[in-house]
Amino acid sequence: MEREMKEAKDKEKEELRKRLQEKRERKLENQRKGEIVQKITNVTKLKRLKKKQLRTIEKR
């Protein structure tokens, strides 16, 4: 009896963990879809940027 209750509780925890993981992945994917992306073709512009501006740039 106790073992069954423990297994049910563990199963619930695992399902919750999976749902939260899927939610995080979906949120990240939607965030990336909504971003405005601008391709930098002239690399010399990067060399002229200040530190604060460089922090905002992400490489993909």
For position 24, what pLDDT does the model report? 97
Report yes or no: 46 and 54 within 8 Å, Cβ to Cβ: yes
Which residues, 6+ apart, have CB-to-CB distance to 46 below 8 Å? 40, 54, 57
- Tens of pLDDT along 35-47? 888 888 888 988 8
The answer to whether residue 55 scores a pLDDT higher than 80 is yes
Answer whether residue 60 shows pLDDT above 80. Answer: no
Type of residue numbered 22 = E
Task: Check if the beta carbon of residue 46 is closer than 8 Å to that of residue 40.
Answer: yes
Determine if the pTM surpasses 0.75. no
57 Cβ contact list (under 8 Å, min separation 6): 40, 46, 49
